[in-house]
C-alpha cells in the first residue's frame, strides 16, 4: 500500500483520511523554535467537496488515495447509473447519480468528460467547460433583434433550462458554459 | 530549467541594508554601555547539538595529506562555546553570528540566519526579560514593554484545558477537536505544543505589541533550569511580536549531570526516528562540571527584528542574498 510522508505534502496530493479520499489545497509547514514541527493542511473531501483544516505531526505517514483523473466518453444512462467508456481501452465505468451530480444537466451521449476515479470507480464527473446542445423548447412568440435584454427561458435536449436571447429558436444548437450555466452563442 | 531572471541581484534594498548596519551598531552600543563583552566562537564544531527538534547541517575537514574527511557540524546557536567562556570567567557576554538550521526555509526562516545571543551573570530570567524589553524599546519605534503571561494561563484560557490536571485522553480529545490527526505516538508533550500553537497562536498574532510567555512546561525546558518552587515548570521565556517568535531565553541550566541526561534523552529520540546518535559536546559538559556561574541567556533573531523595523513580511526582503540566491 502506497503511503506519503508529511514532508511530501504539496497541493494536489491525494490521500486517505477516515476512509475518505482527500486532496490537499494548501500545506503549511509550522516549526516552533524549540518544538517539534507539524504540517497544517487545508484539504478537500473528494466525495463531498467539503474543505477542512487538519494538523499532522511532521514525519507521519498517510495512505495514498488511489485516485486517477482521466477522460472518459459518456455512453448512456439506464436511469440508475451513467455509463462511461475509456476511448483507448474500451473499458466501461458506471457512475452513480452522486458522482454525476450537476454534470447530468449538460452531458449528452459521446461527450468527453473529465472523470475522477477512486479505486477504479467514478467519484466525480465533470462536464466539459463548453457544450453544444439543441433547444427543444422555447417561446417562439417572443421576438427581438438584439442579444441584450433579459432574454427568455429555453429547454435544452438534456432537460436543462437556460436563458437565451430572444432571437434563438427551437431546434437551434447553442453553445453553453457549463461552469456558469450561461448561453454563450449559437453554435 | 529556467533560471530566475535577476537571480544574481540582491533581494534586500540598499535602504534595508543600511537599516541592518545601523541595527547592528545600535545593538553593539547597547551592550557596550552595559559592560557586556562581545565575543566570537567557532561556527564549525566536531560535536553536535542533539536537540531532536533541530536538524544540523554538516561540513567536513580534511587534514593536509589525509584522504579522510572529519565530519563537522555547523552550529545551530553559539550556546555551548559561549557557556564554556562563561565557565572560564568571561563575565557577561554577547555574540552576533550566522547560525545554520537544516530544513527550515519559509516566510520566517532562512537556513542561514543572524542570531544575537547574550548571557548575563547573576540575572534570573525575569531580569533578562527586562533587558530584552529595554533593548527592543530602543531598537523598534513605538515599542512598549511586553505584556507577560504564564504559559499555563494562556493555555487554559485558549484551550479550556488545564495543563497540569488534564489527562492524556482529555488533551487528545481537545487536539482532535482542533483538527489534529492523531499520530501513532502522540506523547503528551507534543499534544501540548501543538494545542498551544493552534489555539494560542492565533491570539498571539492579533497582539499589536510584544508578548512574553514564561514558565514553560518542564517538558519544554530545553536548556533551562526547572523552577525551584514548582518543578513542573521551566524557567524559560519566549518573546513574541505579533505572533512571530523573536527571542527565546532561559535561566540557564548549570547542572552537568542533568544536562547530560537531557542530551542523552534527545539523542535517544534521534535513534528512535532512525537517525544516528550524535557526538555530544564533551567540552561543554566538562565546562558545566567546572562550574557555570548562575546566569540567564537569550537568543534573538536579528533578521526577524529587522523585518519588524522595516515593516516587511518575508525574511527574504531583509537578506542581501537569501538562500535561493546564495
pLDDT in tens, B174-185: 999 999 999 877
Mean pLDDT, all residues of chain B: 93
pLDDT at A149 over 80: no
Cβ contact B220–A37 (<8 Å): no
H-helix or E-strand spanning residue B226: none
What's the burial of A17, exposed, middle or buried (CB within 10 Å: 0-12/13-18/19+)? middle
Across the interface, of A31, A53, A57, the residue whose CB is closest to B179 is: A53
Domain spanning B14-146+209-325: which superfamily?
A: Bira Bifunctional Protein; Domain 2 (3.30.930.10)
> Using CA atoms, how far apart are residues B301 and B318, in angstroms rounded to an integer?
12
A52 and A74 in one domain?
A: no
Beta-carbon contacts of residue A52 (< 8 Å; ≥ 6 apart):
A42, A43, A45, B179
B104 contacts A36? CB cut-off 8 A: no
Q: Residue A32: its chain B contacts at CB < 8 A? A: 53, 193, 197, 245
A21 plus A40 within the same structural domain? yes
Alpha-carbon distance B212 to B239, whole Å?
Answer: 5
Last residue of some domain: A86, A105, A126? A126
- ipTM exceeds 0.90, yes or no: no
Please state, for a pLDDT cut of 90, what percent of chain A lies above it: 64
Nearest to A38 among B52, B106, B194 (CB): B194
Q: What is the pLDDT of residues B75-104, one digit of tens each?
A: 999 999 999 999 999 999 999 999 999 988
Best A22, A27, A32 residue to mutate vs chain B (most B CBs within 10 Å):
A32
**B116 and B299 in contact (C-beta within 8 Å)?**
yes
Q: What is the largest CA-CA distance in chain B?
A: 64
Q: Do A54 and B179 touch (CB under 8 A)?
A: yes
Q: Are residues A103 and A82 in the same domain?
A: yes
Cell numbers representing residue B219 in the block: 517538558
Residue among A17, A34, A55 whose CB faces B194 most closely: A55
Boundary (domain end) residue, out of A107, A126, A145: A126
Task: For chain B, positions 245-264, list CB contacts with chain A under 8 A.
Answer: 245, 248
Of the residues A63, A87, A114, which one is the last residue of a structural domain? A63
pLDDT at residue B272 in the model: 78
Distance from CA of A36 to the nearest CA of B (A): 5
CB distance A56–B220 less than 8 Å?
Answer: no
Q: What pLDDT sits at residue A95?
A: 94
A59 and A92 fall within a common domain: no
Q: What is the pLDDT of residues A96-113, one digit of tens each?
A: 998 998 898 999 999 999
- In DSSP terms, which residues pair with B111 in a beta bridge? none
Counted domains in chain A: 3
- Residues B30-69 have pLDDT tens digits of 999 999 999 999 999 999 998 888 889 999 999 998 889 9
Strand order, beta sheet including A20-30: A14-17, A20-30, A38-45, A51-57
Are A157 and A115 within one domain?
no
Domain map (residue ranges) of chain B: 14-146+209-325
Pairwise CB contact (< 8 Å): A36 & B222: no
Whether residue B35 lies within 8 A of chain A, CB to CB, comes out as no
Domain limits at A158? 130-186
What is the sign, positive or negative, of the torsion defined by CA atoms of A89, A92, A97, A103?
Answer: positive
Residues A136 and A107 in one domain: no
Q: Among partner residues B52, B109, B183, which is closest to A57 by beta-carbon distance?
A: B183
Given a cut of 50, whether residue A157 has pLDDT beyond it is: yes
Position B3 pLDDT exceeds 80: no
Residue of B53, B179, B186 lying closest to A34 (CB–CB): B53
Do A109 and A140 lie in one domain? The reply is no
Q: How many angstroms separate the CA of residue B182 from the nearest CA in chain A?
A: 7
Distances (CA, A) of A75 to A82, A108, A123, A158, A174: 8, 8, 17, 14, 21
B198–A55 CB contact, under 8 Å:
yes
Helix (H) or strand (E) holding B96, with range, is strand B93-100
Look at A57 and B198 and tell me if their CB atoms are within 8 Å: no
Is 60 exceeded by the pLDDT of residue A144? Answer: no
Amino acid at each position: 500500500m502506497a503511503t506519503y510522508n508529511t514532508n511530501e505534502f504539496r497541493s494536489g496530493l491525494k490521500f486517505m483520511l477516515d476512509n475518505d479520499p482527500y486532496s490537499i489545497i494548501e500545506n503549511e509547514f509550522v516549526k516552533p523554535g524549540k518544538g517539534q514541527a507539524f504540517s497544517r493542511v487545508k484539504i478537500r473531501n473528494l466525495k463531498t467537496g467539503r474543505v477542512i483544516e487538519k494538523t499532522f505531526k511532521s514525519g507521519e505517514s498517510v495512505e495514498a488515495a488511489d485516485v486517477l483523473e482521466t477522460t472518459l466518453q459518456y455512453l448512456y444512462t439506464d436511469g440508475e447509473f451513467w455509463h462511461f467508456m475509456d476511448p483507448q481501452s474500451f473499458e466501461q465505468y458506471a457512475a452513480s447519480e452522486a458522482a454525476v451530480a450537476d454534470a447530468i444537466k449538460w452531458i449528452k451521449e459521446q461527450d468527453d468528460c473529465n472523470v475522477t476515479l477512486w479505486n477504479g470507480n467514478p467519484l466525480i464527473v465533470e462536464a466539459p467547460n463548453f457544450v453544444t446542445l439543441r433547444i427543444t423548447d422555447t417561446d417562439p412568440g417572443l421576438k427581438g433583434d438584439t442579444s441584450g435584454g433579459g432574454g427568455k427561458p429555453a429547454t435544452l435536449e438534456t432537460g436543462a433550462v437556460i436563458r437565451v436571447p430572444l432571437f434563438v429558436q427551437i431546434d437551434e444548437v447553442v453553445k453553453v458554459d457549463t461552469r456558469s450555466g450561461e448561453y454563450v452563442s449559437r453554435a | 530549467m529556467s533560471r530566475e531572471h535577476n537571480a544574481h541581484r540582491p533581494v534586500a534594498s540598499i535602504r534595508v541594508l543600511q537599516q541592518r548596519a545601523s541595527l547592528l551598531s545600535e545593538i553593539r552600543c547597547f551592550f557596550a554601555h552595559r559592560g557586556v563583552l562581545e565575543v566570537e566562537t567557532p561556527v564549525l564544531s566536531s560535536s553536535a547539538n542533539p536537540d531532536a527538534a533541530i536538524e544540523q547541517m554538516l561540513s567536513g575537514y580534511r587534514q593536509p595529506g589525509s584522504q579522510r574527511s572529519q565530519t563537522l557540524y555547523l552550529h545551530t546557536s553559539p550556546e555551548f562555546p559561549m557557556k564554556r567562556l562563561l565557565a572560564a570567567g568571561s563575565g557577561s557576554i554577547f555574540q552576533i553570528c550566522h547560525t545554520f538550521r537544516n530544513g527550515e526555509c519559509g516566510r520566517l526562516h532562512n537556513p542561514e540566519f543572524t542570531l544575537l545571543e547574550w548571557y548575563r551573570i547573576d540575572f534570573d530570567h525575569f531580569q533578562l526579560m527586562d533587558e530584552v524589553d529595554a533593548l527592543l524599546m530602543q531598537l523598534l519605534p513605538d515599542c512598549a514593554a511586553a505584556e507577560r503571561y504564564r504559559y499555563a494561563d494562556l493555555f487554559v484560557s485558549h484551550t479550556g484545558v488545564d495543563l497540569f490536571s488534564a489527562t492524556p485522553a482529555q488533551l487528545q480529545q481537545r487536539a482532535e477537536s482542533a483538527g489534529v490527526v492523531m499520530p501513532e505516538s502522540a506523547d503528551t508533550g507534543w499534544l501540548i505544543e501543538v494545542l498551544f500553537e493552534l489555539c494560542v497562536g492565533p491570539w498571539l498574532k492579533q497582539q499589536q505589541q510584544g508578548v512574553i510567555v514564561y514558565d514553560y512546561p518542564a517538558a519544554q525546558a530545553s536548556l533551562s533550569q526547572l523552577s525551584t518552587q514548582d518543578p513542573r515548570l521551566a524557567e524559560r521565556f519566549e518573546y513574541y511580536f505579533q505572533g512571530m517568535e523573536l527571542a527565546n531565553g532561559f535561566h540557564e541550566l548549570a547542572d552537568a549531570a542533568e544536562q547530560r541526561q537531557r542530551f542523552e534523552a534527545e539523542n535517544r529520540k534521534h535513534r528512535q526516528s532512525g537517525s544516528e546518535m550524535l557526538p555530544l559536546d564533551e567540552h561543554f559538559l566538562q565546562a558545566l562540571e567546572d562550574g557555570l556561574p548562575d546566569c540567564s541567556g537569550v537568543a534573538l533573531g536579528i533578521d526577524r527584528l529587522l523585518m519588524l523595523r522595516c515593516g516587511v513580511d518575508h525574511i527574504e526582503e531583509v537578506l542581501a542574498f537569501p538562500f535561493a540566491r546564495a
